[in-house]
Chain A
């Protein structure tokens, strides 16, 4: 059963030079306990999508339309008060920057306690005990000492563990992780990913993982949604997507991933890049959003926007040519 169902999400920002359609008509769903990855390059709207789900977009200048049904309720219809009861409790979030996402003047313990006290009505002692438990759970040594420390006394990886402890303290049904490992070095990245997966199984939470790192996607996601210029261009189960990407943009993304050992096996070639730039989202786009950068684009692409079409089992893509296999890699 779908835990989260997003229909025609539109998040627009009013700017002095016109309306920026950062997210323009995106629909997707997340099942209970499932891990969905949202991938795309910078500025494709993936972070704005995740912030819209939590209604963390400042309004104005932002405006969110469409519907976001979470456990049967449309989040966009809730009052601020009802929404606050969901944030950090049913849906919680981990951000990209562990160095700046924790409050520097409050103790780690206080920052974990807070969500427990707001959402679970625990008193200070019980919340403190639970905070220590959470620190143990996310693998922080000496939790009893750490709970009284401030963020600047912890390393980047430790801080991200604290963020995870805060996010999971109330056993959320959905965890949104916005590039959780981007700011960490590679060895720590692996530890944090493993931790997220372990805890996901323990808590039974669904995860929306926002990333541009396809290695991470391959490792932990079950389904992948590819975004480009504020729209969904392709969606498929992870193995299917890596095996047969249908949209030229997805193919470009996969082509831009360096392959380890390719120089040894003699298959080394120059990394493929996607030429051109993301279109200006303040101007209306006719035709396919990717047409300007697509090597296969024809007049059809430039005039008519392709709809999302079934291209395989649970596999959709928005491309006029994908179905015909004319662009199979």
Chain B
């Protein structure tokens, strides 16, 4: 198992290298001279030349790429053109809120979507099933910002149960941290919950037809034990897969959610960086997201082996 994980980590290196190449090429794929692009509209030719020199843009592409990678491997993601701060420090500041939002959303999704899907499959065709699947369609169709503003209006402005926006670090207490994340997590989680609930229902429907479910019933197990132990564990592989894929969805959704709820996270940083054409920051963020995604994929594969003993690597 350990050797498998090690082999998988080694196998992700080429993937990360290709991602890095793409990320680095961003600057060159963008139309125009990178130095001109970076310098902006009002720059004099001297400014452009100075930038070209300082960024080493006059050197051959592969040499530039090589030295960029070399610096990244040493933990140096470059310096922001706009703020002159190291990119790693800027990302570090913004990582907390985004990570918090994603973890709370992920937990909320698993806790809500999986039981809903299980119940829908158990009561397939009944009113409960149709209500749950109706909500799933609803969750799919509503954009994050619509849900976000609606939630903020009802629960924050009208009922005043939760704060309208903002973020409090976990260091200042669990509840202050969580209360700022509840509404954003629901807004961000809607699509995700709908997706996971649907997949859970589909996977469970198939499993509930199996002979071993009948065996479990013939042994005198209660409905809960049959559904959540005997059946759910067999249905887990597709569910885990979708939860993992959904993390990519979350990364995209976090950008919008953070804007709606004024959370100072990576999503906001991304938007700001794109608007300012702050290429080193954009590169750093994209690289980080790709890395997280590769990591999540590895984790999914490891979880497979935990839920299904027939899967061995």
> Which residues on A are within 8 Å of B, measured CB to CB?
54, 56, 84-89, 92-93, 95, 97, 100-107, 114-115, 118-119, 150, 152, 163, 166
Contacts and interface: CB of A to CB of B under 8 A. Distances in A.
Contacts of B215: 95, 101-103, 163, 166
28 contacts: A56-B214, A56-B217, A84-B221, A84-B222, A86-B220, A87-B217, A88-B219, A88-B220, A92-B218, A95-B211, A97-B211, A101-B215, A103-B233, A104-B310, A105-B233, A105-B307, A106-B229, A106-B230, A106-B233, A114-B225, A115-B219, A118-B219, A118-B220, A119-B220, A150-B310, A163-B215, A166-B215, A166-B219
Contacts of B233: 103, 105-106
B310 A101 contact: no
B75 interface: no
Interface of B: 210-212, 214-222, 225, 229-230, 233-234, 307-310
A115 B310 CA distance: 24
B154 to A, nearest CB: 40
Nearest to B229: A106
Given A106-B233, A150-B309, A152-B310, A101 B220 contact: no
B214 A87 contact: no
A189 B200 CA distance: 39
Contacts of B214: 56, 95, 101
Contacts of A89: 220
Contact of A114 (B219, B234, B308): B219
A107 B307 CA distance: 12
Contacts of A95: 211, 214-215, 218
Contacts of A163: 215
Given A103-B230, A103-B234, A104-B310, A85 B220 contact: yes
A103 B216 CA distance: 8
Contacts of B212: 100-104
The 8 A-B pairs of least Cβ separation, nearest first, read: A88-B220, A88-B219, A87-B220, A100-B211, A103-B212, A150-B309, A93-B218, A101-B211
